[in-house]
Amino acid sequence: MPSITSTGVGSGLDVNSIVTSLMALEKRPLNLLQSAASSIQTKLSAFGSLKSQLSSLGDIAKTLAGSTNWNPLRSDSSDSASVSATAASTAVPGKHTLEVSQLAQAQSLASGPFDAPTTVVGTGTLRLEIGTTTAPGVFNAKSGSTPTTITIDASKQTLAGVRDAINAAGAGVSASIVTSGGKSRLVLKGSDGADSSIRLTATDGNGVNTDDDGNSTDAAGLSALAWDPAAGGVKNLEETQPAQDAKFTLNGLKLTSASNNPAEVIAGVTLSFKKITTAPVDLTVAIETAAVRKNINDFVNAYNGLNTLLKNQTLADTANSGPLQGDSTATSMLYAMRSMLQGSVSGLASPSSLSAAGIELQRDGSLKVNDTKLTPLLSTPDKLAKLFNQAQSGSDPTTRGFGLRFKEWAGALTAETGILATRTTGLGESVKRNQKQQDAQQERLERTEKRLRGQYQTLDSKMSNLNAQMAQLKASLGLA
């Protein structure tokens, strides 16, 4: 609002001070609205903090209400460079002794040398089979497998073309070209395990190229890539590595595996063989008690965080009251969360209550972990799990675990249609209404100040004229 500082010069009337004082009185309704707006914004911020802290508690409660986080297991190896293991939640704690005498590996076959990847091999068909070479001259196809026929026409007749055709067939064999000393070789590799040996037979074309002699048993044309381990089979490739299973001894029992990562040999455990062992390796599957304790500590910390926040925000202290003092939503939340800690889970053997598990309620409403009670339970986490995740039996809500109770409570409050959303929406509408009222007051103040300044400026002008006339009169009377 503009101010006129020159008024009152001729009359001696301090117009600016008078108008400023009057406007200070006129501004009181606006000041009250601004104070109310600040209070509403403080409440909005407080509810935002509540929702964030409540969501954290809900997330942790959801974790505890599930079944996958209550049996964390670790696996230790006395020689992790040779053998390691990964334990799933279905594993059973225990100790095992393991020795590896042979690693699983894939068969590798190499062709004779060709001048370049672009060198023409020939046309015809390749028949690829996967199976087991049980002895010299004996090949047994893998159970359930079917031979793959690969057509090599003029567009695929080069060494590179044959490689691409084999890879495109998706028959469980990968092909690559290795070049060294100016010569290129086709290299075939199967999957790990003795049952992934390769048989590759060729049917030479006839007449497309000079090497297409129609003879599928010589080393010319497409038959140069033949490898048939059966008795009398054509063997024009070189076996650079045989297919074999891993051989190992577990707790004195001799076993084999087509993979170096056998799963479920020990229930719930996946082994990883890295090299042949030189001495027995001790494997231990044990409960990760630190992880179970972390579950409990996370719940306690999240609860205490929300408890402290609610206490501070609802504090009834004339000197330092909380922003949500007397707010029914906040006070009912504080009462409800403390009430849920009471009682026990019906039908559950000890521990059936939080206090029995060492999670104890303090006088200030916070929780504290009693290690004397909790520590013995860490080695049997299934008991703690039921305390938090036991599902409701029938219509009795007291049969629900505490994790389920807090998860559902927090979820209902923080939902899009929950009470926190309703409260914040209402406060938001109050902010809008308050701002409209402030805008209206601001417009009224501008009009009022303009009117007052106009009135007092007119008064100032009249008083200035009267003063001038008085001075002239005094002068004419000789009184000046």
CB atoms within 10 A of CB 193: 22
Contact between 250 and 52 under an 8 Å Cβ cutoff? The reply is no
- Tokens (6 digits) for 370: 């009693």
- Tokens (6 digits) for 55: 């969501």
For residue 351, whether the previous peptide bond is cis, meaning omega lies within 30 degrees of 0, is yes
What pLDDT score does 71 carry? 80
pLDDT tens sequence across 37-56: 888 888 888 888 999 999 99
Distance of CA 265 to the CA centre of its chain: 30
Distance of CA 351 to the CA centre of its chain: 32
Q: pLDDT category, 10, cuts 50, 70, 90?
A: low
Give the Cα separation of 324 and 44 in Å (integer). 10
pLDDT at 4 over 50: no
Distance of CA 477 to the CA centre of its chain: 100
What pLDDT score does 178 carry? 97
Give the Cα separation of 296 and 299 in Å (integer). 5
- Here the contacts of 178-182 (C-beta below 8 Å, separation 24 or greater) are 178/110, 179/116, 179/117, 182/115
CA angle, residues 265, 268, 270, in degrees to nearest 5? 60
Average model confidence (pLDDT) across the chain: 88
435: left (phi > 0), else alpha (psi -120 to 50), else beta?
alpha
Give the Cα separation of 234 and 232 in Å (integer). 7
Nearest to 405 by CA among 324, 307, 313, 303: 303
Give the Cα separation of 374 and 296 in Å (integer). 9
Nearest to 99 by CA among 273, 283, 249, 264: 249
Among 216-230, 253-267, 276-290, 363-377, which is the least confidently predicted range? 216-230
pTM: 0.64
What mean pLDDT comes out for the span 120-142? 90
pLDDT at 394 over 90: no
Among 133-147, 308-322, 438-452, which is the least confidently predicted range? 308-322
What mean pLDDT comes out for the span 114-135? 93
Give the Cα separation of 340 and 329 in Å (integer). 17
CB atoms within 10 A of CB 4: 14
What mean pLDDT comes out for the span 189-201? 94
Give the Cα separation of 202 and 73 in Å (integer). 52
Rg from Cα positions in the chain: 44
Provide φ and ψ at 339, rounded to 5°.
-65, -35
What percent of the chain stands above pLDDT 90?
Answer: 52
